[in-house]
């Protein structure tokens, strides 16, 4: 494959990953009559099954080295809890009609990454990035005071995903084997909840319709495939390009929340989002400027 073809496929896979993540609220809305914990349990369990089958098919089922590395195993146990709670809060947000608040969380995530870089990696900020952070913090403060409600969903999604990314970067383990271990950590909870639902008759699997059964089971595929596509794409294009494309997902979520599910977009949220967008614009400009300087 030529370099141009490599880059083209990289853009395609990366965009496909962010497009899928952006459209996921539609998928969870089809299941919004089911408790978020039950959906989360199926997402975890079927993700593990799908990842195991995928690794077997790709002949990459080599997890022993991870189990032999106590530090890596401990890190993945923590990232498993982080990503599981992130999935749960996200599903909960969609099902209680807070898609816009969830999208705000993923807009904030790059700026949370900057803060984590300062704290854990001793990175330094330039003046543009400092202004971007102040703007973002001001937006969250304004939203809390004027809207009268602390945006805990947004901040938890941003913080948990930011920490997840930081720990995964430090672990150096490939995405799919890492996801296998992370879902293994969460599987005892998931299986317990699913079995309890089947035993008591309160669960929805095999108890409602074929459509619901298929949606619950394929939750594993819609979780793992975008991660695989992202892994394929991100290593073929520049980090700067990935950074710009990551705004596709929260933008789609925002449009879905406003135009498809009519959540409402009052003035307080418009002001806060505008401040976040300006902050992200400044942050992106600083990244692009440093990238060009390195080139």
pLDDT digits (tens, 9 = 90+) for 93-117: 999 999 999 999 998 888 888 888 8
| pLDDT of 34 above 80 | yes
pLDDT at position 271 over 90: no
Helical residues (DSSP H) of the chain, grouped into ranges: 3-29, 36-57, 64-67, 70-95, 99-121, 127-147, 152-171, 175-200, 210-217, 219-234, 239-245, 248-255, 267-294
What per-residue confidence (pLDDT) applies to 1?
60
Q: Which of 45-49, 87-91, 267-271 has the lowest mean pLDDT?
A: 267-271
> What pLDDT score does 42 carry?
96
Distance in angstroms between the alpha carbons of the first and the last residue of the chain: 24
More confident residue, 246 or 238: 246
Handedness of CA 209, 52, 166, 74 (dihedral sign): positive
119-142 pLDDT, tens per residue?
887 777 788 888 888 888 888 888
pLDDT for the residue numbered 144: 78
Percentage of residues in the chain having pLDDT higher than 90: 47
* Cα→Cα distances 65→70, 77, 166, Å: 10, 15, 21
Quick one: pLDDT at residue 254?
Answer: 93
| pLDDT digits 0-9 by tens, 197-241 | 999 999 999 988 999 999 999 999 999 999 889 888 877 877 667
Q: Which residue has the tokens 């089958």?
A: 53
Across residues 13-34, what is the average pLDDT? 94
- pLDDT at residue 177, rounded to an integer: 86
**Mean pLDDT for all residues in the chain:** 87
- pLDDT, position 295: 64
pLDDT, position 133: 85
Task: Determine the Cα–Cα distance for residues 15 and 140; give it in Å rounded to an integer.
Answer: 28
**Which pTM was predicted?**
0.89
Residue 251: CA count within 13 A, CB half-sphere: 11
Per-residue confidence (pLDDT) for residue 110, from 0 to 100: 83
Return the pLDDT at 291.
Answer: 67
Determine what percent of the chain is predicted with pLDDT higher than 70: 96
DSSP-derived secondary structure for 177-192: HHHHHHHHHHHHHHHH
Residue 38 pLDDT > 90: yes
| Distance, CA of 96 to CA of 175 (rounded, Å) | 30
Predicted confidence (pLDDT) at residue 151 exceeds the cutoff of 90? no
């Amino acid at each position: 494959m030529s370099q141009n073809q490599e880059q083209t496929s990289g853009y395609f896979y990366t965009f496909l990953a962010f497009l899928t993540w952006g459209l996921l609220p539609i998928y969870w809305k089809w299941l919004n009559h089911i408790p978020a914990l039950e959906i989360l349990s199926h997402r975890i369990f079927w993700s593990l099954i799908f990842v195991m089958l995928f690794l077997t098919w790709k002949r990459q089922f080599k997890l022993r080295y991870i189990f032999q590395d106590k530090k890596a195993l401990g890190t993945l146990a923590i990232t498993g809890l982080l990503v599981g709670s992130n999935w749960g809060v996200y599903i909960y947000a969609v099902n209680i009609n807070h898609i816009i608040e969830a999208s705000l969380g993923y807009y904030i995530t790059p700026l949370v990454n900057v803060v984590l870089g300062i704290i854990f990696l001793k990175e330094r900020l330039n003046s543009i990035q400092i202004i971007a952070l102040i703007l973002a913090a001001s937006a969250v403060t304004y939203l809390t005071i004027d809207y009268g409600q602390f945006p805990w969903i947004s901040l938890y999604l941003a913080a948990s995903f930011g920490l997840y990314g930081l720990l995964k970067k430090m672990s150096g383990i490939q995405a799919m084997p890492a996801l296998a271990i992370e879902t293994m950590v969460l599987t005892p909870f998931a299986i317990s909840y699913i079995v309890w639902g089947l035993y008591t008759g309160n669960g929805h699997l095999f108890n409602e319709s074929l459509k619901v059964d298929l949606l619950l089971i394929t939750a594993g595929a819609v979780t793992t495939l975008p991660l695989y596509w992202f892994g394929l794409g991100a290593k073929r294009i520049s980090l700067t390009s990935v950074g710009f494309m990551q705004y596709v997902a929260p933008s789609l979520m925002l449009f879905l929340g406003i135009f498809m599910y009519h959540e409402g977009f009052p003035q307080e949220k418009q002001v806060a989002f505008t401040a976040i967008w300006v902050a992200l614009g400044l942050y992106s400009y600083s990244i692009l400027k440093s990238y060009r300087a390195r080139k």
